[in-house]
Amino acid sequence: MQASISSPRKDIAYRLLGTVLIILFWQLLSMRYLSVLVPSPAETLTALKQMLLSGEITSNLRISFERQITGLLLGVAVGTATGLMAGIRRPIELIMSPLVNSLITIPAIIFVVMAMVWFGMGTVMAVFLVSLLVFPIMHINVVEGFKSIDSNYLQMARVYRVPFKIRLQKIFLPGILHSFLAGISLSVATSIRLTIMAELLGAQDGMGQRIAISRAYLQTDQLFAWVLVLIFIVFALDWLLIRPVNRMANRWKAP
């Protein structure tokens, strides 16, 4: 059986078709239900335009973005550092596994409530939540990256007594690179969701707080407009950050 090879143009065409089908389904739902339940795409775009002209989107986006980036950087830094130590030393991995597994399995809403009790409502609570739950993602991905390294390379390095600095530069870092980037990609998307959740439940500004207000006052067109903003942010981060970094990594790893 001959494997099918899709061209870039066909891939784009299929993605556009999927987008059109979603919009069509959205339009059909808006015709079936009241606008207070499902506003039409046109009503949502009108609300989005008004929010842009009033400056509501830019001001709240800046606040949420600062919280998200701060928490993301902290979580990535700590998770990468502990993942490196755990990947190099097996006892450290075992010692940290109960903490990491707990953070992964416990619902995020529990940590939101705890952070609100400890830090109140605002930026510190949101940054703490994002960094706390990004940390285990990076830790696990870095550790898994170590496990994917060819054991023959590690054995050869031990036999020839290669210095640790050389092993780190030539074996460990290239070996965990793709797992690290996968963790970054997942952490970026997760940090956005966590920031919105934290603001939704415990902040007086930011995108999440505006979403909560839209829900409370049944401003469904604005609620859908904020969803479009979030979708745009995710796609923009993917195209401007994740994909270029992946291409750079592939060039570095290529022989």
Give which of 60, 63, 72 is closest to 128, Cα–Cα.
Answer: 72
> What local confidence, expressed as pLDDT, does residue 53 receive?
93
Q: How far apart are CA 194 and CA 139, in angstroms?
A: 18
pTM of the model: 0.82
> What local confidence, expressed as pLDDT, does residue 3 receive?
46
> What local confidence, expressed as pLDDT, does residue 248 receive?
66
pLDDT digit string, tens, across residues 227-242: 999 888 888 877 877 7
The token pair at 50 is: 């008004």
> What local confidence, expressed as pLDDT, does residue 207 receive?
92
Neighbours of 252 (CB within 10 A): 10
The token pair at 120 is: 């109140």
Q: How far apart are CA 84 and CA 146, in angstroms?
A: 8
> What local confidence, expressed as pLDDT, does residue 2 receive?
47
The pLDDT profile of the chain, 255 residues, written as one tens digit per residue, is 444 455 778 878 888 899 899 999 999 999 999 988 999 999 999 999 999 999 999 999 999 999 999 999 999 999 999 999 998 888 999 999 999 999 999 999 999 999 999 998 888 999 999 999 999 999 999 998 888 777 777 777 777 677 867 777 677 777 788 788 888 888 988 998 899 999 998 888 899 999 999 988 889 999 999 999 988 888 887 787 777 766 766 665 544
> What local confidence, expressed as pLDDT, does residue 149 receive?
77
Q: Has domain 39-253 been given CATH number 1.10.3720.10?
A: yes
> What local confidence, expressed as pLDDT, does residue 252 receive?
56
